[in-house]
Amino acid sequence: MNFAPKGVLPAMITPLTKDGNVNEKALRNLVDFLLEGGVHGIFAIGTTGEFYCLSNDEYRMILEVTRDQVAGRVPVYAGANHITTRGSIELAQIAQEVGVDALSVLTPLFISPNQDQLIKHFTDVAASTDLPILLYDNRPKTHVALQPGSVVKLAKIRNIIGIKDSSGDMTNTAECIRLTRDMDFDVMIGRDTLIHANLCYGGAGAVAACANVAPRICADIYDKYMAGDIQGSLEAQFRLAPLRIAFGLGTFPTVIKEALELLGVDAGPCFEPVGPMSSDEKKQLKKILKEMGLL
């Protein structure tokens, strides 16, 4: 396919009202905040977007609003993540109807499919849509690993154009790059502390949760690298690291939403049972944002 993922894509949060509904106004404002920060695409309804909490109607609404607000300025990617193949296909077809540019499909979670079953899952989802697809391996969350050998087999499918590797294992990421380097296939990193490393290995960019809060810093890692300023890219990566490490201060993804609120960007709460950070945790987060020059 002609479509190729590249650059830094924020794994966008889903802004909520205090009563737990999708906040359309905040969503539109967030899209503009991210684009003004220099990101190269918008990645909606992934893990950071709390996909596991949304109805199909909410899913459609978020994609419609996101696509409308982006207005063609950058590509829009949509997660089509579900425990079942049938569920992922339903989401993929909604996303195609809305008119997004590409899909990301996570390995099933909760269950433990083997590699043959994973290959069939992704093959069947790919056959259900004309959209380009990024495979998505987030084994720390799902406890399901898509092995590099399986990635190679799936890369032969026409509309499977890359992978978001959130394994956090650079050896795994490097193998995906090495084994597909002669194919029409791109590797995006899903671990924010490894964006620069992925580019050094020949990866295409990142899907970064931290880009919600620090879009310009994340974009700088990519932009400076592509401009030949390797040291500048590395310095931007080092500047970003404390924010990603701070994710452990609260239950995911509350740290990202709380950080946005500290920056004056309306994000709202997380879906319950995820609750807010403690006052001490917020104090630590605020200190990190100040040291990064964001506050």
3-class secondary structure per residue, the chain: CCCCCCEEEEECCCCECCCCCECHHHHHHHHHHHHHCCCCCEEECCCCCCHHHCCHHHHHHHHHHHHHHHCCCCCEEEECCCCCHHHHHHHHHHHHHHCCCEEEEECCCCCCCCHHHHHHHHHHHHHCCCCCEEEEECHHHHCCCCCHHHHHHHCCCCCEEEEEECCCCHHHHHHHHHHHCCCCCEEEECCHHHHHHHHHHCCCEEEEHHHHCCHHHHHHHHHHHHCCCHHHHHHHHHHHHHHHHHHHHCCCCHHHHHHHHHCCCCCCCCCCCCCCCCHHHHHHHHHHHHHCCCC
**Residues recognised as catalytic:** 136, 164
